[in-house]
Structure 1
Amino acid sequence: MGDRRFIPHLILHETETWVFAAGDELAELRGTPELAERLRADTVAAGGAELVNDSPETAPSKRLVAYCGGYAKVVEGPLAIEDLGLERLRQRCPHFAEWLARLG
């Protein structure tokens, strides 16, 4: 871009990784406590929410569809992330937090 004010943010895999960070909130929205455990296990195994992604078949969006029958991506995901809140999202997603810090 050639402009010092342009500070792009590239999500490592998909915005759904932020939904993994908000796994407890998604589980609460859906009334399925076991979902939180599943998302937490995937997050721990990957080394963090932003790193959940082994292949196109197991990408975060594919996992959410598999784990959550009738998952409404554009509704449930943003609601869960909103319920998590910006500060906790920053704590759970260091790549995102670093970008926000650069914005000043």
Structure 2
Amino acid sequence: MPFLLILQVKWRKSVENSWKKVQIIEDSITHSIHNNRFIPYIQLHEFEALLFSNIDAIDEIMSPDNESHKRELSNILRVAGEPEKINDNPETAPSKRLKSLYPSYQKTLHGALIFNKIPLSHIRAQCPHFNDWITKLETLTPLGDVS
């Protein structure tokens, strides 16, 4: 049982080890499914981490008539190093950070509006794990293509 391998890993709080956990889980799922067209993707933290790939889009949607928080957003991103690494603990998760800066933030409403403003190429450039997954999907041979 490949999933038992996950239980044998010593879990730690570091981001690097968190990425190792993601890789182990994705690999275990891949080996369990036995279908080369199934390519798992585990988002390390919340969906909102991807939104931090474009702080202008966040601020545009969330601050049309309100005070801009680009400086705070930029600082969050600078400290984390990249969007996919934003998350120190449950209280500083990406959605919690957005909610603290923009109290009206609603995940299901504003998350989708912000995401739609960000070109996929921009998210890919800022989020390496997400980009790797999309790249794998792009290498799949289309169904029915026997050439």
2:43 paired residue number: 11
Contact 1:22 1:81 in 2 (8 A): no
1:39 alignment counterpart? 73
Partner of 1:50: 84
Moved beyond 4 Å, runs of 4+: none
Alpha carbon RMSD of aligned pairs, Å?
1.3
Tell me how far 1:33 sits from its aligned partner.
6.1
Unaligned runs of 5+ in 2: 1-32, 139-147
Q: How many residues align?
A: 104
More helix by share: 1
The structure showing larger relative contact order (alpha-carbon pairs under 8 Å, at least 6 residues apart) is 1
Task: Please list every run of 5 or more consecutive structure 1 residues that lacks an aligned counterpart in the other structure.
Answer: none
Range 22-31 or range 4-13, more displaced? 22-31
Q: How does 1:1-104 map to 2 (within 5 A)?
A: 1-30=33-62, 31=64, 32=66, 34-104=68-138
Residue 78 of structure 2: SS of its match in structure 1? helix
> Aligned in 2, Cα 1:33/1:100: closer, same or farther, shift over 3 Å?
farther
- Residue 15 of structure 1 aligns to which amino acid in structure 2? F
Shift in Å, 1:7: 0.2
- Percent identical: 37
Residues 29, 80 of structure 1: 8 Å contact kept: yes
Alignment partners' CA distance in 2, 1:51 and 1:101: 20
User: What is the TM-score normalised by the length of structure 1?
Assistant: 0.91
Question: Which stretch has the larger CA shift, 71-80 or 30-39?
Answer: 30-39
> If the length of structure 2 is used for normalisation, what is the TM-score?
0.66
